[in-house]
Structure 1
Amino acid sequence: MAGWAPPRLDDFILTDKLGSGTYATVYKAYRKRNTREVVAIKCVSKKSLNKASVENLLTEIEILKTVRHPHILELKDFQWDRDNIFLITEYCAGGDFSRFIRTRRILPEKIVQIFLQQLASALKFLYERNISHLDLKPQNILLSSLDRPHLKLADFGFAQHMESQDESQSLRGSPLYMAPEMVCSRHYDARVDLWSVGVILYEALFGRAPFASKSFSELEEKIRSDRSIELPTRPRVSPECRDLLQRLLERDPDQRISFPDFFNHPFVDLEHMPCAESLQKAASLVAKAVEKDGARDYSAALSLYCRALEYFIPSLHYETDVRRKEAIRSKVCQYVSRAEELKVLVSSSNKSLLLEGISSRELLKEMSQDKPRLFAALDVASAAVAKDEEGMAVDALDLYQQSLGELILMLSAESVGRRRELLHAEIQTLMKRAEFLKEQIKTTDWKNDSLGHEMLSESVRGSCLLQ
């Protein structure tokens, strides 16, 4: 627009307009002195402020002043003049997550998991301080940069300190991402943020929000409905991811996953999130693996190498120095090669043990004709062995775990005798094979996991080209 100019602010040069909302406009800016640091400045016109927006702004300033976390937008300073209030924050060159999803349409699960870990770590930090965001949506999540993207949770205008038992009556947030209880009863607590995480996760994986609608009346009808959220069958997602989505998108907040269970969920997997300690943890496990390897305890060595890889992969993603990254990658390739060699050694001994156990398993089945539940569990074990022999590791592992769940219960109820001895031996044999398959799947997936982290940077670069 001709004649348009950004506001003036001492010590800063305001340039590009990054976005605008109901009562604020955000600009890219440079600090005049010293480093010519790049920042973002949120300009709030005092004329546009009513009582509610003043309260929102004060809340945002109060929260951001005290919060320091790698995945929460940093408030560097705030100033004001006669016309405006200025919030000076770190600058995020990657834009917002909404644009990122829109340009890619659907994100690979591996990339979504990396982003989810970052969002979960920010929410855990807030949860420990009794802070609820209350307006979680892709537009309020920023990407720090284009080459090494990190999520930054932003826009705390609706946030508030909220004890878990507190409830609020006012309608906050954006309808597409609002928990049903916010709209239906205006009676809600901190658990609304978990629903919003589920909607964001759904949208990133499937390209649209679960309540995507052509009109507000259609949206409201979907929100007020008591039908459970159905997950699309395509693209396929892992069982862990599907389980998390279903537990987050539970309409009844009492049935929804809790914050502690969310942070500990295997798909979130905060333990293996890239961090400064990742390499140290990996190195410690490798040292133990080498020791076991030298002592010819190949099964234990394989398990330790695989556990180490779960930390090496995030350490590669965390490392910024190119030379150090290549050195880590080279070492990891050596460990993967040794793990592959150990897999052959352990597999042959485990498999022969499993096949040797066929006759005792059949005998055990003959002795279990009077116990249908035990007989059925042994049938599942036989099916697992058959899948294992066919080389279908994932299916075999699933069946092993199903049968073991039942057999262990049966063992605890079994009286002393020959059948109990055979059952105990069978459980030990099946557990060894199940554990081995877990390690086998881990090493097979290593390259895919590593590629997932590399794809994250490539995906952001690709989205920039599309913008």
Structure 2
Amino acid sequence: MNRASVENLLTEIEILKTIRHPNIVELKDFQWDGDHIYLIMEFCAGGDLSRFIRTRRALPETVARVFLQQLACALKFLHDRNISHLDLKPQNILLSAPESPQLKLADFGFAQYMSPWDEKHVLRGSPLYMAPEMVCRQHYDARADLWSVGVILYEALFGKPPFASRSFAELEEKIRSDRAVELPSWPQLSLECRDLLAQLLERDPRKRISFECFFAHPFVDMEHIPGPESLGKATDLVVEAVRKDQEGDAKAAFSLYRKALEYFVPALHYESDARRKEAIRAKVRQYISRAEELKVLVTSSNKNLLEKGNPARELLKEMAKDKPRLCAALEVASAAIAKVRAGGAAAGGGGGGGGVAEPAGRRRELLHAEVSASPGTPGCPPGLAPEALCPRSLPTRSRP
């Protein structure tokens, strides 16, 4: 080993000795003699992410998202300790087992402790996954890892990295280009997924998504990543849902059941004990059934308002009680309509002057846009089937 290789190895040992995280491969021990250094690592029987993608050609968005969430957990752990990996690629991401694998970030030979103000210009990492500022030998910082995350996510979804090339010269030319990275139209992806990809694969590191925004992005959704606290959060919400249900507040109960289910799903993924997992599933089936009943009640309540002949504006106000933006828009619209009517009456009665009323069609467009921008009536999470779900002793639902 030359001096640089020795330094990389010592850096890897130093970093791995200090970190313990379920999504980072663990260094169990290390030994040395006159000729060799032995690293005893955690065994990962599932191979690496590169092979996992290659054998499937591409991954469904739901599967890619689970791996991205686990990678985000590992990166947040490192980011909180000012550690940058600097060689993120599918080959350095190991899988714990062939079935139900857990992602494990490995190979810290290039990793560095980097403060936010640190900037390097040394070429590190694998060119195919390397940030443009690194390939162009410009100053770079920890945001280089976020570009690599974007390339990994792109490859997982589309089956190949965005700059697949036959030679390094061709690769370098593509990376040095000023053209924005184009996302294939197929397979179809959610808007949240495409938005995150576009922000990760931003060539200018100053415009690239920050770590804070990455961790908070709705596609990453770290709040609902499977973990030991998932079941506790779900249980707290469902206890409150049952209370509201007993009080006859169908709308609030329905909303709380829905939020609880968003935590029960990751709780199921996290739970490893088969008996406890089945107990969670059984309770969740009850909660889903009750949530569906409440959804019908809430929908029927809104329908009754219509059948009673309530004016459209009053109906909208009733449906928008917990939507501040929509309420505000309705107030503005009401005031505007009143003003227009007053102006129209003055113009008609006085025979001149008045003011120009905004066309009714334009008012409808503005109101429709505001309604569309507001959160809709809550519903059960998409794809939430009983057999996909996942406690200890959980409260029994109460039927009014």
Q: TM-score range by the shorter chain?
A: 0.7 to 0.9
| Letter in structure 1 aligned against 2:384 | W
Q: CA deviation at 1:242?
A: 0.9
| Letter in structure 1 aligned against 2:112 | Q
Structure 2 counterparts to residues 11-410 of structure 1, below 5 A: 49-353=1-305, 356-358=310-312, 364=334, 366-367=337-338, 376=362, 378-379=364-365, 381-382=367-368, 400-402=371-373, 404=374
Point out the more displaced range, 368-377 or 220-229. Answer: 368-377
Q: Distance in 2 between matches of 1:373 and 1:148?
A: 58
- Conservation of the 8 A alpha-carbon contact between 1:171 and 1:186: no
- Conservation of the 8 A alpha-carbon contact between 2:244 and 2:250: yes
User: What CA deviation, in whole Å up to 9, does each residue of 1:157-210 have, x standing for no partner?
Assistant: 000000111111110001110110111243100000000000001110111111
Partner of 2:383: 445
- Give the 3 Å change call, closer, same or farther, for CA 335–377 of structure 1 in structure 2: farther
Point out the more displaced range, 211-220 or 84-93. Answer: 211-220
Residue 280 of structure 1: SS of its match in structure 2? helix
Unaligned runs of 5+ in 2: 317-329, 341-355, 391-400
- Conservation of the 8 A alpha-carbon contact between 2:180 and 2:202: yes
- Give the 3 Å change call, closer, same or farther, for CA 343–229 of structure 1 in structure 2: same
- Give the 3 Å change call, closer, same or farther, for CA 311–209 of structure 1 in structure 2: same
- Give the 3 Å change call, closer, same or farther, for CA 228–444 of structure 1 in structure 2: closer
| Letter in structure 1 aligned against 2:385 | K
- Give the 3 Å change call, closer, same or farther, for CA 248–368 of structure 1 in structure 2: farther
Q: Distance in 2 between matches of 1:179 and 1:145?
A: 30
Point out the more displaced range, 85-94 or 214-223. Answer: 214-223
Partner of 2:352: none
Q: CA deviation at 1:147?
A: 2.3
Q: Distance in 2 between matches of 1:331 and 1:294?
A: 18
- Conservation of the 8 A alpha-carbon contact between 2:262 and 2:381: no
Partner of 2:350: none
Q: Distance in 2 between matches of 1:72 and 1:373?
A: 61
Q: Distance in 1 between matches of 2:264 and 2:142?
A: 35
Residue 204 of structure 2: SS of its match in structure 1? coil
| Letter in structure 1 aligned against 2:136 | C
Residue 64 of structure 2: SS of its match in structure 1? helix
- Conservation of the 8 A alpha-carbon contact between 1:339 and 1:443: no
- Give the 3 Å change call, closer, same or farther, for CA 310–449 of structure 1 in structure 2: farther
Q: CA deviation at 1:351?
A: 4.6
TM-score of the two chains, using structure 2 as the length reference: 0.83
Q: Distance in 2 between matches of 1:449 and 1:253?
A: 43
- Conservation of the 8 A alpha-carbon contact between 2:154 and 2:197: yes
Q: CA deviation at 1:367?
A: 4.5
TM-score of the two chains, using structure 1 as the length reference: 0.72
- Conservation of the 8 A alpha-carbon contact between 2:284 and 2:386: no
Residue 279 of structure 1: SS of its match in structure 2? helix
- Give the 3 Å change call, closer, same or farther, for CA 152–357 of structure 1 in structure 2: farther
Q: CA deviation at 1:330?
A: 1.0
Residue 167 of structure 1: SS of its match in structure 2? coil
Structure (1 or 2) with the greater strand fraction:
1
Residue 235 of structure 1: SS of its match in structure 2? coil
Superposition RMSD on alpha carbons, in Å? 2.4
User: What CA deviation, in whole Å up to 9, does each residue of 1:269-306 have, x standing for no partner?
Assistant: 11111111111111110000000011110110011000
Q: Distance in 2 between matches of 1:288 and 1:359?
A: 32
Q: Distance in 2 between matches of 1:368 and 1:253?
A: 49
Q: Distance in 2 between matches of 1:348 and 1:356?
A: 15
Q: CA deviation at 1:357?
A: 4.3
| Letter in structure 2 aligned against 1:446 | L
Unaligned runs of 5+ in 1: 1-48, 385-398, 405-433, 454-467
Point out the more displaced range, 361-370 or 221-230. Answer: 361-370
Point out the more displaced range, 89-98 or 213-222. Answer: 213-222
Q: CA deviation at 1:254?
A: 0.7
Structure 2 counterparts to residues 422-441 of structure 1, below 5 A: 434-436=375-377, 439-440=378-379
Q: CA deviation at 1:352?
A: 4.9
| Letter in structure 2 aligned against 1:282 | A
